[in-house]
Amino acid sequence: MTFDVLVNLFVVLFVVIDPIGLAPIFGALTRGGSAAYRRRMAVKAILLAAGILYLFAFSGDWLMRALGIGIPAFKIAGGLLLFLVAIDMVFARHSGLRSTTVREQEEARFKEDISVFPLAFPLLAGPGALTTVLLFVADTRGNYTAFGALLGVLAVVLLLAFLALMLAGHLMKLLGETGANVVDRLLGVILAALAVQFVLDGLSTALTGA
């Protein structure tokens, strides 16, 4: 796995998991809670999300083979899904792809333990993040060094997400809602370009048989 691919992996995972965008949501969900409660929710959510993402990383290749899904088809489908996530980011919208629905938010508001839902899933280990992991797992098929690098990059992004959750209050004071949306829009443009590249790569492989 080249340095460029590692950078692409980091950027896509960082954008899809979106630690900066998670900060205001986490702050709202834990408003009124003690520092110990916020820390406990953040730790549990990150560990659960890591478990889900790493499970997909280790079983994703087997799953695609079992379902008879080729890498080109998955790249095209995954690229389209990530493009929809990018559109949400550019227009500062919150759909079920990268956030919770209104009814899910209402349900979470009355729960004491928000670490499983909605933090771990769908906010941290949502459809976009799971798709990204599977896309890159497909590219590392048979290359254990590249697969290990993928696991390492995933760990770094989850660590950054944990730091964002722990510093949610400070981040919102620094950026504000408008600042967070501006960052999200910029990252959304980058993600859109990478998503289109996934689709083009998938089409190229399917048409040439390479």
pLDDT tens sequence across 94-118: 665 555 555 555 555 556 788 998 8
Q: What is the pLDDT of residue 93?
A: 73
Q: Write the DSSP string, the chain.
A: --HHHHHHHHHHHHHHH-HHHHHHHHHHHTTT--HHHHHHHHHHHHHHHHHHHHHHHHHHHHHHHHHT--HHHHHHHHHHHHHHHHHHHHTT---TTTS--HHHHHHHHT-S--IIIIIIIIIIS-HHHHHHHHHHHHHTTT-HHHHHHHHHHHHHHHHHHHHHHHTHHHHHHHHHHHHHHHHHHHHHHHHHHHHHHHHHHHHHHHHH--
User: In which domain, by residue range, is 175 found?
Assistant: 3-208
- Round the average pLDDT of the chain to a whole number and report it: 85
Burial class (CB in 10 A: 0-12, 13-18, 19+), 4: exposed
Total count of domains within the chain: 1
Averaging pLDDT over each range in 88-92, 114-118, 147-151, which range is the top one? 147-151
